[in-house]
Structure 1
Amino acid sequence: MNRKHNKRNIVIYHLLSILFSLIFVLPILWALIASFRPEINIFQGISPLSFKVLSFFPFTLDNYIGVFKNEVFSKALLNTFFVATTTVIIGVIINAFAGFSFATMDFYGKKVLFSIVVASFLVPGDLLVIPTYNLIDSMGLIDTKIALILPLLGNGMVIFMFIQFFSQIPKALSEAAVIDGASYRQILIIIYAPLTIPTIIGASLIMFLAQWEAFLWPLVVSRSINNGMIQLALSTFTQQYGTLWGLKLAASSLLCFIPLIILMPLQKYYISSIASSAIKG
C-alpha cells in the first residue's frame, strides 16, 4: 500500500514539475519561434491551446538581418562584449588577489574588511548608483567605457568564492614556497591559480553576466551610441507609433541565448565553483 502511495506521489510531483516548467518555458520558446516569423505573422495562432503557437512557418531570417543592420544595436552588442570581457579579465585578477590575501595572510583589520565583503551581498546595487555616479562624475569619466567597467570590477560574491576556495588549500604549500624564496604573487600565479580553474571560470561567468544584464548603470552614465549597452539598445525597436515586434523579439532572443551558449559548455565548472564556495575547508 505504501509503495502505491509513494508511486502516486512521485507521479503527481513529476506532473506538477512538468506543468510549472511549461508555464515558464513556453513564453520564452514562443518568443524564440516568433522571432523567425514575418512581422505580420507574429501574433497568428497566439492561443496557448493551439499548436500553431509553436510553428516556425512562415519562416524568415529578416528579423535577425534587420537587428544586425541596426547601427545602434550592433554597436551596443560590440560595446557589451568589449566591456564584459574587459571586466572579466581585470576583475578576476583583482578579486583573486583579494581572496588570496584574505585566505593566506594575517593583517590589521582583516575581520572588519571580511565583514564588509560579506555585507556587500546585502546591499542592492541600485542603492549605490547615486554615490557611484558622483564619484565617476568627479573623475570626469561620464560617457566613457571606463565608467561602465570600473564600478563592476570589485565583486563581493567573487571575492568570497576565492576566499573559500583558497582556504581549502593547505597552507604548507605556500609556506614551503616562501621558504624557497617565492613572492606572494608567484605563489598565487604558479601554485594557486592552476588549482583554481573552476572558481576562475565561475567568477568569469558571474562578472560577464553582471555586465550583460546591466541596465540602470549604463542608462545613467551612457549618453552616446559609442558607449551604449545592449540592454538599452532594445528600446530602439519601440518607436513613436508602435513596436517593431519582429526585430525586438529577435534582439531579445539574442540577449537570452548568447549567455546560454557561453554557459552550457562551462556549466559543470560554474556549479563546482558555487558549491565549493559554500564549503569551508
Structure 2
Amino acid sequence: MVLIKYGDDQGLGQEVRAYERLRHFQSSNIPQVFVCEISSSGNTFLALEWIDGRHPDFTSERDIHSTYSVLGKWTAEWSDRVGGHDQLSQDTLDRFFAFNDMLVKHQELILTTIGVRLYNQLQFITANQDFILHTMKRMPNTFDPGDISLHNTIIDHHGNVIFIDFEYASVRPMIMLFEHYGEGYESIPSTPERIELAMQAFLKTWNANASQPLTWEQFQCGQVCARCCYKMGKYNYWIKRMADERHREETLEWIKQDLAPLEELVRQLEQLVVNDATS
C-alpha cells in the first residue's frame, strides 16, 4: 500500500524537501519514499510506503525506551552528517527579542492581572538569556524531525520504530528535540519519571553513535535552557493574547495552571547559573 500526500501548502512543501534529503540515506526508521517532488507551479506530491503498526504508548516503559533509543541513534548519525554548532533558527532567536519587548511593553498588564511573582520569574529568564543561548549553542546540531510524538511515530509489527512526519524538520541543536518536555503534553512522555527515562534512553544511544558525546549533566542543563526558550514562545503568545483582549479569562487560566511548572523551571535555571558561576 502507498500513502499519498499532495497540495500546495507550505507545510507539505517543507516535508517534501525533508524527504528529498532523507531519501539519499538508507534508513529503516522512515517510510520508503517512492515519489517526492515539487512542481514549477508550487504543487507538491509525496508517495510513501504505507506502514502497518501502532502508535507507541508513552505510559509504557518499554515503548518509551524503544522509541527514544532509536531516536538517539538516528539523530546521532544525522549529527555527524550535518555537523557544527551554533545553528539556532531565526525563529528561535526572535523569541528572545519578542520576550524582552513583551516584558517591557506589558509590564503593567502582567503585574495587575497575574502578579509580581510571575513577572519576577519571567524577568529572571530574560536576565539570564546569555547563559541560555550560550548553553544551547554548545549543543551539537542534528536533523530534527520536528515533532516526535505518539501521532507521528509508528511501531511496526516487527518492533521497528518509524518516524513519519517531517513537516517541521530542520537542522538545529539536538537538545531542541526536548524543548517541550515537562509542559504536560500527553502525546509525549509527560511525567518526570517518564521524561527522565526517555532522555536517558536517548542519551545512551546518542553517546554510542555520535562523534560528540555528552554527559548526563550537560544534557540536563541543555534541556532546562531549551525549555526556557520554549517558555518564552508560550508567554509571548499568552500575554499578547491577553493584551489584545482575546479570550482573556481562558488565557489567564492557562497561565495560572503554568505557575508551578514555571517556578520549578526557574528554580532549576537558577541552580545552573549558580553552579556555572562557581565552577
Same fold judged by TM-score > 0.5? no
More strand by share: 2
Give the greater-gyration-radius structure (CA): 1
**TM norm structure 2:** 0.25
**Greater RCO structure (CA 8 Å; 6+ sep):** 1
Which structure has greater helix proportion? 1
